[in-house]
Amino acid sequence: MSNFFSSTIINKIKKTESEVFKKKNFLGSDEIKTLLEYLRNLKNKSVGESKLVDREESTKIFFDFNQSEFLQKLKIKIEDQIGEFFVNDFQPHIITTRFPLRLHVDTGKNPNDIIYKNVVVPLEIIYDLEKDFYKPPNTVIFKNKWYDRSALLTKQTSSNYDFIIKDIDNKFVDIVNIHDLKEKIKNVNKGTFSYGDKKFIINDKFKEYIDNLSKTKRYNARTDKHIVNNNDFKKSDYEKYMTHQPYEDCQSLEIDKIIDWEVGSLMTWDRSRIHCSDNFLINNVVSKTCLAMFTSKNKT
């Protein structure tokens, strides 16, 4: 199989594996308010270990459990549920997502890491209340496992320069190559700009945003090695959950659990599990925010 983790490490990882887990009402509304206010205020002041990655499609605020007493207590509270853990290579964070995450795994980049659980605690869901219906977002966990480094799983492996950005109508669109867009708008000063079938308003702010995206270093590699057979993904499940990504990317995947987001619940699954967000946009969710981290059983 993979030569990323050794068979000894894989055996150690497998010994820690368990079923997808959800505990309702893990955090109360007061705790959620405290956590969100504390971290969102840090974002403005950039105090301590907190760093910020702010994009149109998502905002991440990173933290360290040792930076406040409340966060220290929170770590103990999570350990009461899942046992002792460490966070090694990707800091704990809260993430606000405005465009759903595609198929991926969070196995990290360290072959000596005894990867343990993905931990997610939904903190806030914003609905478009002007629409006539809305439904909570879901996280889709597949039966399929992955013992290689962190990856975005897609058949589009040739380019690593695609980004989701907002168009003239404030709708999210997929740009296949951000460098190409950057080049095309180089000599456009302002006004409406057509790029294929997409339209954007060009101004200094837009140009600066595209320039910043073009300098992004991606954490995840891209691969289609998750496709291991010719089994097509169930069309009805695709329509219900997965329309934010190409149908062919779902080939050979089998759904294990669909976890619906309940604010304050604790959700965990093995880091070896392939997972993604559902396409919450079709259910009139504007954004969702959760605490997210990737835990390990050893300190590396």
Name the site residues for Fe ion (rule: CB under 5 A).
Answer: 106
Distance CA 41, CA 94 (A): 13
Q: Which is nearer to Fe ion, 106 or 270 (CB)?
A: 106
Q: What is the DSSP string of 130-190?
A: TSS-----EEEEEEEE--SS-EEE-S--S-S--EEEE-TTS-EEEES-HHHHHHHTTT--S
Q: Which amino acid is located at 244 in the chain?
A: H
Closest contact distance (angstroms) between CB of 189 and Fe ion is: 40
Q: Which is nearer to Fe ion, 35 or 267 (CB)?
A: 267
The SS3 assignment for 274 reads strand
Q: Which is nearer to Fe ion, 210 or 242 (CB)?
A: 242
Closest residue to Fe ion, judged by C-beta, is 106
| CA 213, chain centre distance (Å) | 17
Q: Which is nearer to Fe ion, 82 or 188 (CB)?
A: 82
Q: What is the DSSP string of 115-133?
A: EEEEEEEEEEEEE-TTSS-
Closest contact distance (angstroms) between CB of 58 and Fe ion is: 12
Q: Which is nearer to Fe ion, 62 or 200 (CB)?
A: 62
Closest contact distance (angstroms) between CB of 165 and Fe ion is: 21
Closest contact distance (angstroms) between CB of 131 and Fe ion is: 27
Closest contact distance (angstroms) between CB of 2 and Fe ion is: 19
240-249 residues labelled b (16+ CB within 10 A) or e (exposed): bbbebbeeeb
